[in-house]
């Protein structure tokens, strides 16, 4: 993309490249939302935060009135899964209900006894969307610098 900025004849037409890269990063983060069923824990990956919840901590998995899949854990905590956020597709295909059934079955099969558990919440890492955002910033900075240095 940086080389594309240099090859463009018009001084301002390169400015669409950083906007495109930001869009790619934004959409990439949304598209990376998912629920992972790992050995003994469920991981809810949302665009910004990921929650790792041991199967022993899960109290319920429900679908809210608006179609959002929610994992209830601990005493009063819950996390909504962005990947199952009650879209128009969900209204037609009932994907959140199907995912909730599958997760309930997985919890029954993987629930470990014990009162002690720790839920971890961390920033979600998305390699390619984050690289697109960094490339957007670099492209904008290089393009602005080129415009300043080549202005008469």
Per the structure, the count of domains in the chain is 2
Environment class of 90 (CB within 10 Å of its CB; exposed 0-12, middle 13-18, buried 19+): buried
Split at pLDDT 50, 70, 90, the class of 111 is confident
State the pTM of this model: 0.78
C-alpha Rg value of the chain to the nearest Å = 22
The single residue listed with the structure tokens 């869009």 is: 23
Q: Taking the CA atoms of 75, 80, 86 and 89 in sequence, report the sign of the dihedral they define.
A: negative
Q: In DSSP terms, which residues pair with 70 in a beta bridge?
A: 62, 80
Q: Indicate if 114 and 131 belong to the same structural domain.
A: no
Q: Indicate if 58 and 28 belong to the same structural domain.
A: no
pLDDT of residue 80: 92
In this structure, are residues 105 and 58 in contact, taking their beta carbons and an 8 Å threshold?
Answer: no
Mind listing the pLDDT tens digit for each residue in 120-134? 899 999 999 999 999
Beta strands in 77-119 (DSSP E): 77-85
Mind listing the pLDDT tens digit for each residue in 30-47? 999 999 999 889 999 999
Q: Indicate if 27 and 47 belong to the same structural domain.
A: no
Cα separation of 99 and 44, whole Å?
Answer: 12
Q: Indicate if 99 and 69 belong to the same structural domain.
A: yes
Q: Which H or E run includes 22? A: helix 16-31
Residues in the chain, overall count: 152
The CATH number assigned to the domain holding 110 equals 2.30.29.30
Q: Indicate if 98 and 152 belong to the same structural domain.
A: no
Q: Indicate if 87 and 119 belong to the same structural domain.
A: yes
Q: Indicate if 72 and 2 belong to the same structural domain.
A: no
Q: Indicate if 21 and 50 belong to the same structural domain.
A: no
pLDDT surpassing 70 at residue 139? yes
Domain span at residue 106 reads 33-125
């Amino acid at each position: 993309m940086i080389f594309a900025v240099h090859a463009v004849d018009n001084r301002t037409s390169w400015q669409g490249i950083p906007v495109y890269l930001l869009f790619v990063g934004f959409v990439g983060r949304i598209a990376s939302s998912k629920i992972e069923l790992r050995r003994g824990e469920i991981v809810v990956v949302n665009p910004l935060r990921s929650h790792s919840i041991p199967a022993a901590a899960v109290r319920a998995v429900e679908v809210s009135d608006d179609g959002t899949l929610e994992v209830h854990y601990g005493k009063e905590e819950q996390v909504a899964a962005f990947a199952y956020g009650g879209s128009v597709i969900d209204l037609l295909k009932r994907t959140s209900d199907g995912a909730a059934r599958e997760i309930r079955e997985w919890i029954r099969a993987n629930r470990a006894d014990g009162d002690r558990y720790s839920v971890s919440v961390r920033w979600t890492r998305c390699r390619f969307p984050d690289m697109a955002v960094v490339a957007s910033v670099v492209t904008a900075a290089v393009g602005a610098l080129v415009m300043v240095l080549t202005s008469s």
